[in-house]
Structure formats: structure tokens, C-alpha cells
Amino acid sequence: METKILSLDSINEDKNILFEAAQIIKNGGLVVFPTETVYGLGADATNADATKQIYHAKGRPSDNPLIIHIADPKDAENYAFTNSAYYLLAERFMPGPLTVILNSKDSIPLSTRGGLDTVAVRCPADPIANELIRLSGVPIAAPSANLSGSPSPTGIDHVINDMLGRVDMIIDGGDCDFGLESTIVRIDSEDSLTLLRPGKITVNDLSAAGFNVMLANAVTEQLRDDEKALSPGMKYKHYAPKSPLVLLDGSRDNVFKYITESKEDNIAIIAYFEDMSFYSSCFPKATVLNFGNKEDKLTQAHLLFKLLRDTDKREYKTIYAPLPEEDGIGLALYNRMIRAAAHQIIRL
């Protein structure tokens, strides 16, 4: 398939690009578009044939459901059964990086929602994404625009690497703002939620909006073999770089000792900015990658998937990275990194 790549810095720049993209969606085609979290691989969520093409393009198992993207929180009425908790969340966090699981209406075909009774709904804040949905006149089903198993794409080179020849159009909107996928919640009652995937909207943010928030086990733990995944995506290997990633939890001196004793030359170290020159001088043969300042979680979120993809350019014996703390946005980093590392954590 020939893929058209068009760049767009703002929605006012060239509206024709968005009209053309919307026409592709209406006709059942595939368009990759930027959002404030990661790039999405979009198709008409109400068209079963179109959403089947998404699974095909990504190589994604068909029981792993898609998020439907709407231009206005009220549009959820057409596709799902809403309630007061949904509207409270919408008022506080939408448009924005929050996805809410609701009971689905029949307007969303089973293939879009991986055969479940529920559907994931998100209203993106990114102006290109929002305008594309509005012009398409349908909800856009969109998983992250990576090949299944790879880190989500946060820059156009990632998208081109994974999706060229697999989709009709790619809209290049530059780097995504946040860099990790949306927070996903399930509504359990009027004032309680289960967090299925942490993101920019934190547990604190949700609590401050008046909700009791339970953490699904799989957010911080490995899913047991006999445990049912609350979100199908939890059971799949994810975000993995090609070389093995190991998370080290300990002081810089202990990390130094551990890496020295492991006697590996061909390694990469994802390091906080403050520690970079220390590691570069201790391990001159290692590739040392800048993960931003230790306290700057936003920069780390912005960089994580890019760094994981950068390590794929070579084969390393091991990639080492620090284990993030689990508070605030740190929980989203922790969740993505323990999965990228296949739960290989070494406490020093």
C-alpha cells in the first residue's frame, strides 16, 4: 500500500490535509495521527471491516480492544452508556489524556472492542486529533501506531519505521507532547474507579476530583498465570526493546559496583542527567543515554519510548535503567518500564 505522509504544524495551516484524512477515515481507510500522548493508528470505529484493518496493520491480537476517540465528551452517548461519574471525569479531564471504560452500545461493532461488552472512550486534546475526529463525523478507533509489542511512537520517525506501507496516510504533527499513553480507568460506582493503566492524569488528580481509586494489580505487578486481565492489553508483552532491559534499584555507587562486577562491555545505560558523566567516565565503552533530570518526570515520560527505540539501533548485552519511584507520573513510568524489562528488577 502506498502511504501518503503530510506534515501539519497547526490545524489552521492547511485544512485540506485534514479534509483529505477525514475522507480516508469515512471511506474505511487507515490514518496515523498525532495526539497529546502518542501517535494513534485510526479508522472508523463504527466500521468493522475498517477496524479489522487496524489489527492487521499492527499485527495485534484480535482480542485486544481499541480505544474509540471522540471530539466532544457528550458524543459518548451515541456509543456507550454514560453515568454521573463519566460526566464528572469529563468535566475535570476532557479533552485530555484520560480513557474511560463504559458499557458499549451496539453502534460499536464487537471487532472494535475485542469482543467485550465494554468500550474504551477518550476525547483527545491535541487540536489535530480533535479536528480530524470532528471532520470525519465518526468516532475514530485508534491504538498506538506501533507494531504490536514495540514501544508506542512519540515521533514521526517511529511512525514511519513501523507503519510505512501499512496505512493510507500519516499526518506528521511533530513530537507528541506527553509521550506515554493515556490513563485508563474503569468506573466501579458513582465515586470509585479502578486504574487500569497509569498516565499523565495521576491517582492524585483522580482523588482530588472526588474518587476513591483502586489500582489494578497488573499496574505494578506481573499478572499471575491464573489471573484474569482487567484490561486485555495487560497480558501482552509490551514496549520491549530488542536488547534485554534490566532495572536497577539502588544508589549510584551500588549500581556502579553491580555493573562493574557483571563485566559486560557492550551495554547501554539509561541515566538521569545528573549521573551521566559519572557513568560515562566509569564505563567508557558503554552507551550512556540521557533520561532527563532525576526529579523531572515529565521529561522522562517524554523521552522513555524514544530512548527504548534508540537502543534498538544496536545490539547490547544489557540495557540498564533506573527503577522509577511509583508516585505521581512516576507510576506511569514504573508501569511501562517494568513491562519493557519483563519484570527484571535488581534491588541493590
Buried b / exposed e over 329-346, threshold 16 CB at 10 Å, is bbbbbbbbbbbbbeeeeb
Nearer to Mg ion, 112 or 144 (CB): 144
- Does residue 154 interact with Mg ion by CB under 5 A? no
Q: How far apart are CA 293 and CA 290, in angstroms?
A: 9
- Residue 41's nearest CA partner among 142, 138, 110, 109 is 142
- Does residue 47 interact with Mg ion by CB under 5 A? no
> Is the CB of residue 25 less than 8 Å from the CB of residue 42?
yes
Four-residue CA torsion sign, 134, 152, 324, 294: negative
35 binds, among Mg ion, ligand TXA, none (CB under 5 to 8 A by kind): ligand TXA
E-strand spans in 201-255? 212-215, 245-249
Nearer to ligand TXA, 250 or 328 (CB): 328
Among the candidate windows 65-73, 141-149, 188-196, 297-305, which touches Mg ion by CB under 5 A? 141-149
CB of 216 to ligand TXA, least distance (A): 10
Question: Could you give the count of Cα atoms lying within 13 Å of 253 in the half-sphere of its Cβ?
Answer: 0
CB of 164 to Mg ion, least distance (A): 18
120 binds, among ligand TXA, Mg ion, none (CB under 5 to 8 A by kind): ligand TXA
Four-residue CA torsion sign, 75, 76, 77, 79: positive
Percent helix, percent strand, percent coil in the chain, to nearest 5: 35, 20, 45
Nearer to ligand TXA, 181 or 275 (CB): 181
67 binds, among ligand TXA, Mg ion, none (CB under 5 to 8 A by kind): ligand TXA
Nearer to ligand TXA, 36 or 168 (CB): 36
CB of 273 to ligand TXA, least distance (A): 26
Contacts of 77 (CB under 8 A, 6+ apart): none
Nearer to ligand TXA, 47 or 112 (CB): 112
> Is the CB of residue 55 less than 8 Å from the CB of residue 49?
no
CB of 285 to ligand TXA, least distance (A): 36
136 binds, among Mg ion, ligand TXA, none (CB under 5 to 8 A by kind): none
C-alpha 32: how far from chain center: 14
Nearer to Mg ion, 144 or 311 (CB): 144
Task: Please report which residue ranges of 164-220 form alpha helices under DSSP H.
Answer: 203-208
Q: How far apart are CA 230 and CA 161, in angstroms?
A: 31
CB of 249 to Mg ion, least distance (A): 26
- Residue 82's nearest CA partner among 229, 163, 187, 1 is 187
Cβ neighbourhood burial of 308 (10 Å; 0-12, 13-18, 19+): buried
CB of 195 to Mg ion, least distance (A): 17
255 binds, among ligand TXA, Mg ion, none (CB under 5 to 8 A by kind): none
CB of 162 to ligand TXA, least distance (A): 12
- Does residue 35 interact with Mg ion by CB under 5 A? no
Sites of contact with ligand TXA (CB under 6 A): 35, 37-38, 40, 64-67, 99, 101, 113, 116, 118-120, 122, 142-144, 181-182, 184, 196, 231-233
Residue nearest to ligand TXA (CB): 233
CB of 73 to ligand TXA, least distance (A): 15
- Which residues are near Mg ion by CB under 5 A? 144
